[in-house]
Amino acid sequence: MPGSNPGPLAGTRVVDLSSNAPGPFCTMVLGDLGAEVIAVHQPDSARSAARLEALRATGGEATDEPFPALRGGPSDTLGRNKRSIGINLKDTRGLELFHSLVADADVLVEEMRPGTADRLGVGYEAMHELNPRLVYCSISGFGQDGPYASLPGHDLSYLAQTGALAMLTPRGAGPVIPQNIVADYAGGGLVAAVGVLAALLARQRTGVGQHVDAALTDGVLYVLADLLSSWFGFAVTPELGESAVSGALPGYSVYETRDGHHLAIACLEPWFFRALCDAVGRPELTPLFSDPGRRDEVRSELAAVFATRTRDEWFAILAGADVAVGRVLGLEELATDPQLQARNMIIDVARSEGPPVRMVGVAPKLSDTPGSVRSAPFHRGRDTDAILAELGVHDGELAELRARGAIA
C-alpha cells in the first residue's frame, strides 16, 4: 500500500524537464525510490507557440498532443510522487528561476533533441558549470552523437533500427507493431534510471556529477543482448515462432480453454514437460519433448486436452502439480489476482480531490528502505507558487511573472 517511507533516494532532488514516456517513467522510478521530483513544464502559451512553429515548418495542421488525457492528470501514473511547476525557459526571468532550481538539485533529466537544451541555456555544460555535483541525464532516440543523433523518432522506429522489430515478425508476414514497451520503457526510461543511479553512486566517490547519455536505440540493443548472442556467435536469427522461447515448442505455447480464455504453458525443461504430461493425463507424450518432427502432433493433442476444462480449472490443476503455467489475464482481472494483491502491485492512491486513483505498485521490493507511492499524480503547475516561494520569489513577483507568461 502507499506509504510515507522516505525510500533509498530520500534527500535527492530531481528536476524533470521531460514530457514523453521514457523521461517521465525514469523519474517515476526515481520518485518511487524516494527522490523529490520536480516536473518542469512549459506554460501552455509557450508550448502552443513551439508546436505552431514546428507545424508551420512542416506544413502540418494544428492538433492536440498525443494522449492529452494521460499527461498531467489524475490517471497519469507517471506523474506520481512529483511536484509540478510551470516555467517558460524562453523568458529571461523564467530561465533564471530554472537555474536557481538546478543549482540545488542532484539530478536533471531532459529528453530534447540533441542541441536543443544548449540553445535554451539548460544544456549539460552550462548546468555542470552551475552545479558541478549535478547528474545530468539526456534521454534521446539515438544518443548525443552519431549520424542519426538529430533524427526524430518514436518507439516503433527505434525497434526497427535495432533489429527488434524484425525479431517480432512471423515468417511470411509483415512486422507486428507492439505497444511502446521495449524502447520507451525498458530500453529508454528504465535504462536511463539505472544510469542515473550509477552516476549518483559514482558521485559519492568523486564528488562530481556527470552526463548520462541514454539513447533508446542503445537501450533496446542492451535488452536484446542475449538474443543477439545467437546471431553474433552462430549467425542464427531468433525467428518469431521458430525458437524455443517464441512458440516453436508445444510445451512452451498458449492454448485456448473450454471457456474461451487462454492458458500459457512455459515448460522449457524436460522435467517440467514431464510434470505437464502427467498432470493432464497424457504421460505417453513425455518422450516426444525433443522430437521436432512430432511437434504439431503434440500441440494438437495438448490443444484437445486443454479444451476440456476452463482456464482457471486447468491453472489450479497445473499449479498444484508444479508445472510452469500462467493464466492469460485480461486487464480487468489484474486487480483481483491473488499474487498481485499479495505483492501490492495494484494499488489505490488517495488524492486531495475526487476518488482514489488505481495504478501499478512499486518494484523492486527493498527490505529496509522500500519505495512507496507518497502522492497522487499532479496537475500541471499545481506547485508553482510553493516551489517559487522556496526559491525566495514573493507574491508580488508571482503575479507579474504569471501575467507575462514566464510561469504557469
Q: Which three cell numbers stand for residue 175?
A: 512486422
Which amino acids are annotated catalytic?
154, 184
Dist. CA 310–CA 269, nearest whole Å:
25
Query: In terms of DSSP bridges, do strands 346-349 and 325-327 run parallel, antiparallel, or are they unpaired?
Result: unpaired
Q: What is the pLDDT of residue 168?
A: 86
Q: Which pLDDT does position 74 carry in this prediction?
A: 60
| Angle at alpha carbon of residue 389, lines to 384 and 391, rounded to 5° | 100
Phi, psi of 288 (to 5 degrees): -85, 5
pTM of the model: 0.90
Task: Write down the pLDDT at residue 173.
Answer: 86
Q: What does the pLDDT read at residue 176? A: 86
**235-248 CB burial, b ≥16 within 10 A, e <16:** eeebebeebeebbe
- Domain 13-223+359-403 sits in CATH at 3.40.50.10540
Q: Report the 10 Å Cβ neighbour count for 296.
A: 10
Within the chain, all domains assigned CATH 3.30.1540.10 are found at 252-335
Spatial separation of the C-alpha atoms in residues 345 and 1, rounded to whole Å:
9
Residue with cell string 527505434: 158
What does the pLDDT read at residue 1? 39
Long-range contacts of 288-292 (CB under 8 A, 24+ apart): 289/251
Rounded CA separation 70/78 (Å): 9
Helix pair angle (225-234, 216-223), 10° resolution: 70
Rounded-to-10 torsion of CA 241, 331, 156, 216:
-100
∠ CA 372-84-199, nearest 5°, is 60
- What pLDDT score was predicted for residue 295? 94
* pLDDT by residue, tens only, the chain of 408 residues: 344 567 999 999 999 999 999 999 999 999 999 999 999 998 765 554 444 454 445 454 433 343 333 345 666 899 999 999 999 999 999 999 999 999 999 999 999 999 999 999 999 999 999 999 999 999 999 999 999 999 999 999 999 999 999 888 887 888 889 999 999 999 999 999 999 999 999 999 999 999 999 999 999 999 999 988 888 988 877 777 778 888 889 999 999 999 999 999 999 999 999 999 999 999 999 999 889 999 999 999 999 999 999 999 999 999 999 999 999 999 999 999 999 999 999 999 998 888 999 999 999 999 999 999 999 988 888 999 999 999 999 888 999 999 989 999
Nearest of 198, 195, 208 to residue 22 by alpha carbon: 195
Secondary element (H or E) of residue 16: strand 13-16
Q: In which residue ranges of the chain is CATH 3.40.50.10540 found? A: 13-223+359-403
Cβ-based burial of 11 (10 A; exposed 0-12, middle 13-18, buried ≥19): exposed
* The pLDDT of residue 171: 79
Those residues with Cβ within 8 angstroms of residue 56's Cβ, 6 or more apart along the chain or in another chain: none
Q: What fold does the segment set 252-335 form as a domain?
A: formyl-coa transferase, domain 3 (3.30.1540)
Round to whole Å and give the CA distance between 61 and 43: 21
Burial 376-390 (b: 16+ CB within 10 A, else e): bbbebbbbbeebbee
The DSSP 8-state label assigned to residue 12 in this structure reads -
Contact 213, 144 (CB under 8 A): yes
